[in-house]
Amino acid sequence: MAATCPMDQLFDLDFALSFDLDLALITPVQNTSSATISGVSSFIADLPTVSSNNVGVCMICMEEFGVKDCAKRMSCSHVYHAPCISSWLSECNSCPLCRCRIYMP
């Protein structure tokens, strides 16, 4: 039987049922040499610092932003504690929430 709807041609039920989202989200661990870590540190330093008022919760450590906390806004507009996002980016090259790829020099 031929597909009559364009969606039928684009959607593969077998693939959807066998797709492993956890496996797809795993990012290979990058080399954490001192050059990489210093590159991440300078990248984090260049991110805009935002007021921690009304920012909410850092989704990496799941803690609220304190009055004196350094909140950094990523290019995708998600906000994290500077040490949290620094640790994350030393292992992965994407935003923890939206998986937007982060390109560091």
Q: What is the pLDDT of residues 46-59, one digit of tens each?
A: 888 887 677 788 99
> For position 41, what pLDDT does the model report?
79
- If 0-12 CB within 10 Å is exposed, 13-18 middle and 19+ buried, where does residue 41 land? middle
Selection from 72, 91, 95 nearest residue 82 by Cα:
72
Tell me the sheet residues that pair with 79: 73
Boundaries of every domain in the chain: 29-105
CB-based contact 93:100 (threshold 8 Å) = no
Helix 82-91 to helix 34-46 angle (10° resolution) is 140
pLDDT by residue for the chain (105 residues), tens digit each?
455 555 455 666 666 666 665 655 554 544 444 445 567 778 888 888 887 677 788 999 999 888 878 889 998 989 999 889 988 888 888 899 998 888 776
CATH classification of 29-105 is 3.40.1360.10, yes or no? no
What's the pTM value of the predicted model, to 2 decimals? 0.61
- Give me the phi and psi of 89, to 5 degrees please: -70, -20
